[in-house]
Structures are given as structure tokens and as C-alpha cells.
Chain A
């Protein structure tokens, strides 16, 4: 009684602490069981998709071959740029550990069993190792084949009105593009700080609703998406890629006529990249390389603003940023200019 009277706050804190501790213990005990199961299965599913490195290489060759055959037949003008390049030797570089040349002319064991794929799917060269997973290292499991292919597309210069039927989806970097360039006068923006690929479909954007709501209300010709940095510390390249693929497919279903432009994540500065175990450019490259493979250069495209904002050493240029991550307000124009240079025919 004396305690309650003389020391009510102490009393309340002691009581609530006890309750909290009890609840936490209970929850923790429950969670612990779940966790062990979850983690194991979670990790295994990630890996079960990918096959051994050599096998992947074979498949890739097969598909490259197959595609070039197909394209010569179809003679579609949009395809020509692609097919013209495909048979040439291609370098699929892994993360330095693995660098092999895949020759498109190599006949190898061509076993075409499936129906014609829409585009040559680039499969992972290897899988994320347990060590990489535990250390939050995003493994560069795809190499830059997808990125190279995507950037071979002949982009065209457009003016700002081109964005009148565009929708931008993104994290705080896109917030900067919205707040500090004139693009916001043309395109619609669904962007919010700390947006991730895992949240993007569920997220309720202030004043707009979910992506589904927005796509139902208005028809868009282009959808630009730029997320990926916030989730660098979560999951593996595989889980990220899985979520990304899912989102892109959902966007296609919701807006079948829109062209989807995947924007590779912008790099961080050299200083940040060297200091940060998670938010560094090697992790960003790995994930950009993954999502770039989704680009078919017909309906899905991949662009990479890093060309426009990086210094010679390939990091976000120091002078364009204060916090080593975001473009200073005024330099968002570099991004806008890049977008104007990378319109799609």
C-alpha cells in the first residue's frame, strides 16, 4: 500500500514490467519453435529452385540458341536488335569467383522440350551460400548478363509529356524525384520512404490507396518501379528476386497494356559503400543484376540511373549527395534527364 501511495510510477512500472516480461517469455517460447521450423524450410525453398552451376550454364546456352532461331524466323523489328546481338559470345560474369564465357554458337546438347518461352530466361549461375545469407551479403547469382541485355535496348529520347500516362512507384529516392523535379507535373507518383518490394503491393499510399486501387482508377501506359535498397538487409538475392518477379507479374496482370520499367537501385557513395556491411554497392549490384534479368525488352524494360549519377569509380558521386544515399534535391534533375533519354519507342 505504501508503495502505491508514495511511489505510484514505480509501482506501475514494476507491474507492467512483470506483465510484459511474462508476455514476452510466452511469446518468445512460442516463437522459438516456429522460428526453427521457419528458418530451415525458408532457406531450403530458396535453394531448391536453383540447380547446380554447370546445369544452369547449359540451360542458358540452350535458350540463347533457341531464341536466336526463333527470332530469325519471326523477323519482328523489336526483336531484331536483340537477336542480332544474341548469337555473339556473351560474358556471364559471376561475382568474380566465377567467370565463364558462354558462346551462343556452341551447339552443345540442345534439348528443346518446352514450349517457346517469351524471352530467354536467364537463370542463376549459382546459389546463395549459407555464409552469404548469414552475413547479409547479397550474392551476385545472376552475373551481369541480364543487365547487359536489357541495356542493349535502343532507348529513345522523349520529352516530359511522355510521362503524362506514367506511374512511378518507389522509395524515398523516388520521393526526391517527385519533390524536386518537374516530372511530378506529368506523372503520378506512389512513393514513400522505406518502401520495399515486400510491402509495395500491400501498402496504402497516403491519399491514393493501394497500387491496385490506383491502377483500377486510371489507365497507365508506363509503370516505373524503383525499390530495393531498404530490403538489402533482408533475405537473399533469391527471396528478393522472387518477390520482385511476383510484383512485376502482378503489375502486368493489373495493367496488361502498360510497359513496365524496372529501375535498378541507385548506388550509394564510395564512403558509405566501404563502411556499410549492408548498404553497399556490391549488394546493390547483385540485386540489380537479378532484377535486370526480368527485362524482355518488349513489355518489361530495365534502366539504370547509375550511369548518370556515378563518378569514375562507379559509386554515387560525392558531390551529388549529402547523406551518401540520396541525391541532393537539385541533382534529381540528373535522374530526370536520364529518364528523358531513356524513353521507349
Chain B
């Protein structure tokens, strides 16, 4: 039920909740939204539901009545970080998935709220129900976006119009299509490469697979974020943007200002800037960036590959800052190529947790490194480009900002509306055939 791209959610929880929500007088909609969100979380995470409630309570009471309560803020932030560290640490030592659902996302919201209350950024009087609602909002509780408190329309008036509802629905359907029709299907390509064994894929297929994985990751997460923000808009909130055409960026730092924007913003506002940001000596800047990227790497998963991933990105970003960043900005095509080369490479590091396998994959990507493949089928690219050509074409088109913006601009056009309706039903068709045949993606 907690999966946005699941039939239970699309035809169950979401419509039922929306009807109740809109049937409730405006005055009580926050309450109903809180109840719905808690129910949603409790269904998805019955065990650690209490942890969430407990953390909400502690965070609420540690925050001062007025801005500037440093002790309370520090205690709360330390607690939040400690809880996250404990669970991530446990997860590191045990194979089974111990992480409570959405823990890092709601803890980041809690930290963000603490700091914003302390700094006086949040001016309104704190109210337990609203704070709990902010932490628990069901569209965001599992995987973000990490909305800031003051971005939520808690006291600002929400817009309950058909126009607004339509807006949200459009985003939701776009996201659903990206997830179900692009990401989920592209994920089979990566699974196939693993099944074959990296040592046996041809160099063209290694590149093809890398591009496929880059697209899969993008549409999976962008699609998810669009669905989440779309639901928020349907509920009357503002749209929270989490991705803004990252693959069109011209530097790695720009890429990460446009990829998972709310996370990047979180690290910038609550780690990088408090440490002095870029307004200090060069050495300090390098240190700050290195720390942020090391943390980003560790946060993404346990495994040395994630650390390497963070280090590689951090190094590139530091190099941009110190060496070639400004020059690159003046050379559009070169900048694009630079991003489109290094980012997919970094995703390979992100994807392969086994370091030996990672080396093998690099060996296939760059045969001049001297590692020989084993039982390589040189024709494999023909087969896979036939199977995935269309998905690649659609995916790459949607990476071009002009294409997506054109669709967005004309979204009120009945033709686009019809197209989106088709996307919706096609996605549903996929979900249904997947459900009636759970092995669709696992057929041998």
C-alpha cells in the first residue's frame, strides 16, 4: 500500500483518502491529513512506528518556545544524528534490512525543523499537530522530497481548486509513467548484465548498460519525486521540485544542484554553510566540500563503493571550484560532454557494491586497461539495442529540458491530457499484468 506505483495505493488509499480529505471542512483538513499520514506510516512500518512518534515528541519538546534556544536545538540535532547513525551502523553489520521506513528522510526533516526554529527562520508559534503533520506527511515520509517546514502550506492558505488538483494529478501521472514505463523496464537491462556476468559483456554493451542504468536511476527517482509532489499539489500544497534537468548540466556541481535538489540543499544548508561554506580560506573550503561529499557517500548506502562514489564526486567538484569550473562554464558543449561522461561513470561505482566486480566492469568499459573479457558475445549489443532502443529514445528525449518543458507548457492542451491519460492506463496495464503474473519481471 505504501508504494505509490502500486495498485493498492493508486486505486485504494489515494482516492479514498482524497475523497475523505475533500469531504472534510477546510478547518479540519490538517487533522485528517495527519490521521491519514500516521495510518499510512503505521501500515508501512508497524514496528518502528513508535520510534517515529517518540522522535517527534522529543524533537518537539526540545525545541524552544522562542528562537535561539541553542541547547535544546543541539541536543535534538545530536539525538537525531545519533539515531540515524545507530540504524545505519546496525545496517552495516547485519545483512538484513533493519532501517525503519523513511528514517533518514523524516530525521532530516526533524533536523531541518530544529535548526530553522532556532535560527528564527520559522516565525510562527509552534503547534504539535502541525509539526507532527510536517514530519509525517504521507507523500514525503518514505523518500522525500525533504521539504522545509516553511515551504509547506500549513498556515499559508492552501489552494483547493480544480485547477490545482489537475496540476497535481498531471505530475502524479507523469511520475507514474516514468517509474513504471521507463525505470522499471530499464531495470531489467541492468539485471540482465548482472545475470550474464560483467566479464562476458562486450564493451559496447558495457556502455549501453551504463547509460541504461543512468536513465533508470533518474526516472525511478524523478518519477517518484513527481508522484510525491504531485500528491502534495493535489492536497493543495505548493509543488516541491526535486529534479531540474540534471543531465543537461555543464558541471558536476551544477548536476548536483539539479539532482535530488532537496537533499543537496539539506547538506548545503545544514552542513556546508554552518561550517563556513565558501566564505573562508581555500583550504577550509576544500575540507568542507570533502566532508559533505564523504557524508553524502556514506548516507547513500553501506559499502566501500559508496565512499568511493562520494570521493570521486567530491574530488571533481573541488577541482571544478579550484581549477576549471569557470573555464568550463564558458564552453557549453564541452561542459555537457564532461557531465555526460563522468556522471554515468559515477553511477557505475554507485551501482556495483562488489569492488572486484566494479573493476571488471571498468575493464569492460575501457578495454585498453588490459583486462580481457571471458566468453564475450560480441553481438550482444545488437540484441539489447533492439530490445531497449525505444526506451532509450524516450528516456533521452525526456532528459532534454526543452522537450519536457514543452510538454509542461502545453499540459492544459487536451491532446496532452489525452496522452497523459494513455500513460496512466498503460502504466496501470503494466501493474495489473505484473500483479496477475508476479513473475513478469522474473521470467526465465
Contact = CB atoms under 8 A, between A and B. Distances in A.
Contacts of B383: 179
B439 A230 contact: yes
B173 interface: yes
B444 A13 contact: no
A180 B377 contact: yes
A328 B197 contact: yes
B377 A194 contact: no
Interface string A1-30: 011001111101100100010000000000
B165 A10 contact: yes
B169 A13 contact: yes
Contacts of A172: 443-444
A3 B162 contact: yes
Nearest to B201: A329
Interface residues of A, number: 32
A9 B443 contact: no
Contact of A229 (B191, B201, B444): B444
A323 B374 CA distance: 18
B220 interface: no
Most central of A3, A10, A193 by chain B CB within 10 Å: A10
Interface string A121-154: 0000000000000000000000000000000000
B86 interface: no
B374 A10 contact: no
Contact of A13 (B195, B424, B439, B443): B424
Contacts of A263: none
A10 B414 CA distance: 11
A171 B162 CA distance: 50
A263 to B, nearest CB: 14
A329 B197 CA distance: 6
A217 B439 CA distance: 34
B200 A230 contact: no
B417 interface: yes
Contacts of B418: 12
Nearest to A326: B195
Contacts of A7: 162-163, 165-166, 169
Given A9-B173, A10-B162, A16-B421, A322 B194 contact: yes
A273 to B, nearest CB: 14
A256 to B, nearest CB: 31
Contacts of B19: none
A326 B200 CA distance: 14
A333 interface: yes
A330 B375 contact: yes
B420 interface: yes
Interface in A305-345: 322-323, 325-326, 328-330, 332-333
A328 B165 contact: no
A92 B353 CA distance: 47
Nearest to A196: B443
Given A173-B444, A230-B444, A322-B195, A9 B170 contact: yes
A332 B169 CA distance: 48
Nearest to B383: A179
Contacts, number: 89
Main secondary structure of the interface of A (DSSP, over half): helix
A173 to B, nearest CB: 6
Contacts of B377: 179-180, 329
Contacts of A3: 162
Interface in B369-388: 374-377, 380, 383
Interface string B129-155: 000000000000000000000000000
Nearest to A7: B166
A87 interface: no
A221 interface: no
B417 A8 contact: yes
A8 B420 CA distance: 10
A173 B200 CA distance: 16
A10 B166 contact: yes
Contacts of A330: 197, 199-200, 374-375
B412 interface: yes
A235 interface: no
A2 B162 contact: yes
Nearest to A184: B377
B162 A8 contact: no
A160 B325 CA distance: 59
Contact of A9 (B161, B169, B194, B374): B169
A74 B10 CA distance: 70
B287 interface: no
Contact of A193 (B380, B417, B421, B444): B444
A180 B166 contact: no
B82 interface: no
A136 to B, nearest CB: 12
Contacts of A194: 443-444
B196 A329 contact: yes
B425 interface: yes
Interface string A200-244: 000000000000000000000000000001100100000000000
Contacts of A20: 425
A324 B194 CA distance: 11
A330 B200 CA distance: 6
Contacts of B173: 9, 13
Nearest to B161: A6
B162 A180 contact: no
Contacts of B424: 13
Nearest to B199: A330
Contacts of B191: 323
A323 B169 contact: no
Interface in B347-401: 374-377, 380, 383
Contacts of A2: 162
A187 to B, nearest CB: 16
A233 B194 CA distance: 25
B414 A8 contact: yes
A303 B102 CA distance: 50
Contacts of A328: 195-197, 200
A10 B420 CA distance: 10
Contacts of B169: 7, 9-10, 13
B197 A12 contact: no
Nearest to A2: B162
B165 A16 contact: no
Nearest to A15: B421
Given A6-B163, A329-B375, A193 B195 contact: no
30 contacts: A2-B162, A6-B161, A6-B163, A7-B162, A7-B165, A7-B169, A8-B417, A9-B166, A9-B421, A10-B165, A10-B166, A13-B169, A13-B173, A13-B424, A20-B425, A180-B196, A180-B377, A194-B443, A322-B197, A323-B194, A323-B195, A328-B195, A328-B196, A328-B197, A329-B197, A329-B199, A329-B200, A329-B374, A329-B377, A333-B375
What 4 A-B pairs have minimum CB-CB distances, sorted nearest first?
A329-B200, A194-B443, A328-B197, A7-B166
Given A3-B162, A7-B166, A193-B444, 13 more contacts: A6-B162, A8-B412, A9-B170, A16-B421, A173-B444, A194-B444, A229-B444, A328-B196, A328-B197, A329-B199, A329-B200, A330-B200, A333-B375
